[in-house]
C-alpha cells in the first residue's frame, strides 16, 4: 500500500505538465506566390505559336506546384 501511494505521488506531477505545442512550419510566401510569365517578343508567327504552347505548359506546371503548396500549408 505504501509503495503504491508513493508511486502515485511520483506520477501525479507528470499529469500537471502541459502537453507539447505543435509548431507548423510552412514554405516561405515567396514560394507560394502565383507564377508570373516572362515577357515575350516573338518575331514570326511560328515563334509566337511555339512560345505560347511552351509558356502555357510551363505556367500550368508552376501553378500546379504552387496550388499544391498552398493546399499543404492549409492542412
pLDDT at 14: 56
pLDDT at 65: 79
For the chain, the distance separating the N- and C-terminal CA atoms, rounded to the nearest angstrom, is 49
Higher pLDDT among residues 49 and 31, named by residue: 49
The grid coordinates listed for 24 are 507548423
Q: What is the pLDDT of residues 19-38, one digit of tens each?
A: 778 887 777 777 777 777 66
pLDDT > 90: percent of the chain: 0
SS (H, E, C) the chain: CHHHHHHHHHHHHHHHCCCCCCCCCCCCHHHHCCCCCCCCCCCCHHHHHHHHHHHHHHHHHHHHHHHHHHHHHHC
Amino acid at each position: 500500500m505504501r509503495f503504491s501511494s508513493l508511486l502515485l505521488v511520483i506520477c501525479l506531477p507528470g499529469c500537471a505538465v502541459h502537453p507539447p505545442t505543435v509548431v507548423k512550419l510552412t514554405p516561405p510566401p515567396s514560394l507560394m506566390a502565383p507564377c508570373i510569365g516572362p515577357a515575350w517578343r516573338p518575331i514570326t508567327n511560328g515563334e509566337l505559336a511555339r512560345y505560347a504552347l511552351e509558356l502555357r505548359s510551363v505556367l500550368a506546371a508552376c501553378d500546379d506546384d504552387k496550388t499544391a503548396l498552398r493546399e499543404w500549408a492549409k492542412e
